[in-house]
Amino acid sequence: MTKRKLLKLQKQQDFIEEKGIIYLDNVTKSYSTGSPAINGITLSIYRGEFVFIVGDSGSGKSTLIRLLLRELTATGGHAYVMGQDLAQIKHRNIPKFRRNLGVVFQDFRLLNDRNVYENVAFAQRVVEMTNRDIRRNVPSMLATVGLAGKYKAKTTQLSGGEQQRVALARALVNNPSILLADEPTGNLDPHNSWEIMGLLEEINERGTTVVVVTHNREIVNAMKKRVVAMKKGIIVSDMEEGVYNDEED
Ligand code: ADP
Ligand code: MG
């Protein structure tokens, strides 16, 4: 590695240490109509944290996640992930940037014409892993999410909880630094919701930074994690070992 590259990496690491692995600096996102979905948010999430994002429907939670994924760009302020200013990432470098991020959604978004193994392997093929690595990584990841025996199953034959585990395995198989989950238990029953949250906690304990958008009051209150509450595009509270409060108008 060249000296210049090393220095750049060092600067990036220093930035992450100081400002956070996710750092929003007065970020606004306005869509073409209506009031801003995100309205001047400043937020630092540090390496290794587990953070819940809560708030009523329409408060800007998914917009926030989509900004972090660089699916959307901020209309004001600056957003940084892994020390990179998202507005500066060139189009051709977006896929490489996204390798830092694993993501799961409420509706699983699996490839339903492929089996469980192929859904997870697909994520590895996209980043051009060798077949040898894929054959090692995919079964190990499926075991981690408790699906060791199901790798040949069709995704359509799985329960919701199992489908979300596949999505989680797919999100994690490339070993991202950050996992973003947008209402991952929104379609699950209480038992499966707890199982998925337990897995997220385990993944966090292994070092991945985890950000979870959720409406699940019971789980948020029980897990005693940092809770960032949003309302109408702003952060109304941010508490360590927080609880899910009903904000009064
Ligand atoms: P949440 O995930 O907290 O429910 P969203 O981020 O989805 O909130 O939405 C925040 C606000 O932005 C809402 O008022 C919503 O209607 C609006 N919004 C979301 N997506 C779009 C879009 N693609 N175009 C226009 N407005 C949008
Ligand atoms: Mg949403």
Span 217-238, average pLDDT? 96
pLDDT given at position 245: 81
Q: What digits encode the pLDDT tens for the residues 10-42?
A: 999 999 999 999 999 999 999 999 899 999 999
Distance between Cα 131 and ligand 2 center (Å): 36
What's this model's pTM, rounded to 2 decimal places?
0.95
Distance between Cα 183 and ligand 1 center (Å): 14
Task: Grade residue 246 by pLDDT with cuts at 50, 70 and 90.
Answer: low
Q: What digits encode the pLDDT tens for the residues 155-169?
A: 999 999 999 999 999
Task: With a cut of 60, say whether residue 248 has pLDDT above it.
Answer: no
Residue nearest (by alpha carbon) to ligand 1 atom 17: 37
Can you give the C-alpha Rg of the chain in angstroms? 18
Ligand 1: residue of 62, 68, 75 to mutate (most ligand atoms within 8 A of CB) is 62
Task: With a cut of 70, say whether residue 247 has pLDDT above it.
Answer: no
Task: With a cut of 60, say whether residue 147 has pLDDT above it.
Answer: yes
Residue 71's nearest CA partner among 94, 51, 100, 37 is 94
Distances (CA, A) of 138 to 142, 143, 148, 173, 195: 6, 9, 10, 7, 20
Q: H/E element holding 164?
A: helix 160-172
Task: With a cut of 70, say whether residue 7 has pLDDT above it.
Answer: yes
Q: What digits encode the pLDDT tens for the residues 38-96?
A: 999 999 999 999 999 999 999 999 999 999 999 999 999 999 999 999 999 999 999 99
Q: Domains of the chain (ranges plus CATH)?
A: 47-75+100-248 (3.40.50.300)
Residue nearest (by alpha carbon) to ligand 1 atom 7: 62
Residue nearest (by alpha carbon) to ligand 1 atom 15: 58
Distance between Cα 182 and ligand 2 center (Å): 7
Distance between Cα 60 and ligand 1 center (Å): 6
CB 189 within 8 A of CB 196: no
pLDDT given at position 34: 87
pLDDT given at position 191: 94
Distance between Cα 162 and ligand 2 center (Å): 22
Residue nearest (by alpha carbon) to ligand 1 atom 24: 31
Closest atom of ligand 1 to 60 CA is 6
What's the CA dihedral at 8, 129, 160, 211 to 10 degrees?
-10
In the DSSP assignment, the letter for residue 225 is: -
Nearest ligand to the C-alpha of residue 107? Answer: 2
Residue nearest (by alpha carbon) to ligand 1 atom 27: 31
Task: With a cut of 50, say whether residue 249 has pLDDT above it.
Answer: no
Ligand 1 binding pocket, CB closer than 6 Å: 31, 33-34, 37, 55, 57-63
